[in-house]
A and B are shown apart, each in its own frame.
Chain A
C-alpha cells in the first residue's frame, strides 16, 4: 500500500497531500506522523492541502486528530493552502477545525511555526 511521504524541514515536518485520499491512506498517515514526530522531536507539522479538491468529515477528523496528537507531543499543526471552494464547503458541512492553525501557504505556515519557536507571537490558540 502506498503511503504519504513525510519530509523534515528544519524543526518541522512537511506533509503534502496530493491524491484523492482513500480512508486507509488517511489512517496510515495519522500513524506514520505520530511516530515521526516522536522520532524527530519536530516542533511543528505543516500539512499542505492545496491540491485537495474536497475535505469531508473524514479528512477533517484526521486533521483534527493529527493536531491533537501533535499538541500532546509538543508540536504545532498548521494546515496550509486550503482552497476557497473547499473552505466554503467545509463551513457549510459544519466543520470548523478549531484545533488546527491555518496559513495561506507553506512559507507562511513555516513562519508561524518559527515565530512560536523563537517565543514570539501568541501561539497558544489562534484568535478567531
Chain B
C-alpha cells in the first residue's frame, strides 16, 4: 500500500473537529468517493475526532491518501495520549457509553468504514484507524 499524501491536524477544540470534517471531505472528493461514501467517512471522522477531544483530552488526526492496486483509499488515524479504553469490546458495543453519549460513535464509525482498527492501553492513550476505499 503506497501513501500518496499525508497530513496531520490537531484535535484540541470543537473548531478543530469542524476543520477535520472539512479536510476529510476535500480528500474524499479528491479520491473520487461517491457522495454517500464521502458522507460516511466524514461522519465517522466527526465521531472519532469528538472522542479524541472529549475522552482523550485532545490529540491529532492524520489524513492519508493511500493506493493499493487499482483502488484508492482515505485512511484516517485519530490518536491521543489520554486515559485509554479499559474494555475495548465493551466500548465497541452499540449503545455503551461511559458518559452521556449515545454510545454510537465507535460502533457507528466502524460500520461506516471499510476497515477499522482500535488500539488502546489504559494510561497510555488510544489510536483508532479507519479506511474507506473508492
Which residues of A does B touch, CB under 8 Å? 20-24, 53-58, 60-61, 84-86, 88-90, 92-95
Contacts and interface: CB of A to CB of B under 8 A. Distances in A.
A91 to B, nearest CB: 10
B111 A56 contact: no
A93 B112 contact: yes
Q: What secondary structure prevails in chain B residues at the interface with A?
A: helix
B112 A22 contact: no
Contact-residue bracket for chain B? 20 to 34
Given A20-B21, A57-B47, A57-B104, 7 more contacts: A54-B21, A54-B39, A56-B47, A58-B50, A85-B38, A93-B104, A95-B104
A17 to B, nearest CB: 14
A14 to B, nearest CB: 24
A55 B40 CA distance: 10
B89 interface: no
Interface stretch (B12-20, B61-69, B74-82): B12-20
Contacts of B111: 92-94
A61 B36 CA distance: 21
A92 B42 contact: no
B122 to A, nearest CB: 24
B24 to A, nearest CB: 10
B35 A93 contact: no
